[in-house]
Amino acid sequence: MSDKHYQNYHSIIFDYMRQANVQSICVSEDFNSSVEALSLKEKFFKDSDLFRVFVGIHPQFAKVSSDMRLFEGLFQSKLDFIDGIGEIGLDPTYANLDPDNTLERQKIVFEKMLHLAETNNKPVSLHSRRSVNEIMEILPSYKIRNAVFHWYDGNKSNLKRINDKGYFVSFGPYLLYSSDKQTLLKEADINLILVETDGPVKYKNCFEGALTSPSLVVSIVYFASVLLKKSIDDLTEILYMNSTRFMN
């Protein structure tokens, strides 16, 4: 919700969340989006748990050294409004695109984010594209309350490693048309799955590039219930309990 694509739709989306009693997590990617997410929380949901805020520095922006200094100050000053750390992680794609944004630099920022999460007992949302092995080498050395490998896109063996450590994986709207993601969902520990939209990503096929909103969660849960051969009520209860444990 802190992304500029949502600026003209806040009132519509927030009204839907209140009327449907949908709790959402607004995940940040840098200092500015963290500030915006916290501002939305204070402006629209100051006395409500429907809007949760995760702040963090995405690996795409790890090279911006000023962000880290500003971020740490923001984190301490707004700690009471912060529910978790994210989106954080590693991604060699960005190192290939920008020689200044090396994996070494990304790891420094990533470990600083994990230290904040450990010290303040916060869950984390992880970006792990092409880097699950590297993240799994680092993550267990921190006492992280809970972690989710958001938009999990790895293989089955790594999925088992992740679940065996008690970490969550999340699935988004692509589940409705991606056979690979459908297979991964079936392989995942049902007690360690979460659902997400990853807005403002626009999805193809049945979604026709529409702007992502929390309302899409209903479609994801329904389709997942079909894949897992559960009633929608049963899966909704499982996902609610999973989310509660993840957020503690």
Here the tokens at position 12 are: 């519509």
Domain hosting residue 210, numbered range: 4-247
pLDDT tens digits, 209-248? 777 888 889 999 999 999 999 999 999 999 999 999 999 8
Give the residue with greater pLDDT, 124 vs 201. Answer: 124
Query: Contact at 8 Å (CB) between 152 and 183?
Result: no
Ligand-binding annotation for 150, yes or no, is yes
Rounded (10°) angle between helices 65-77 and 103-120: 10
Ligand-binding annotation for 87, yes or no, is yes
Query: Contact at 8 Å (CB) between 125 and 169?
Result: no
Decide: helix, strand or coil at residue 126. strand
DSSP 212: P
Confidence at residue 212, expressed as pLDDT on a 0 to 100 scale:
84
Question: Tell me, what CATH number does 222's domain have?
Answer: 3.20.20.140
Q: Which one-letter amino acid corresponds to residue 19?
A: Q
Rounded to two decimals, the pTM is: 0.94
10 Å Cβ neighbour count for 147? 27
Query: Contact at 8 Å (CB) between 174 and 198?
Result: no
Confidence at residue 65, expressed as pLDDT on a 0 to 100 scale:
74
Residue 76, class by beta-carbon neighbours within 10 Å (0-12 exposed, 13-18 middle, 19+ buried)?
exposed
Ligand-binding annotation for 58, yes or no, is no
If you average pLDDT over every residue of the chain, what do you get? 93
pLDDT tens digits, 22-67? 899 999 999 999 999 999 999 999 999 999 999 999 999 999 877 8
Confidence at residue 246, expressed as pLDDT on a 0 to 100 scale:
98
What domain count does the chain have?
A: 1
- DSSP H or E stretch at residue 117: helix 103-120
Ligand-binding annotation for 111, yes or no, is no
Residue 1 binned pLDDT confidence (cut-offs 50, 70, 90): low
DSSP 101: S
Which residue in this structure is represented by tokens 């092995």? 133
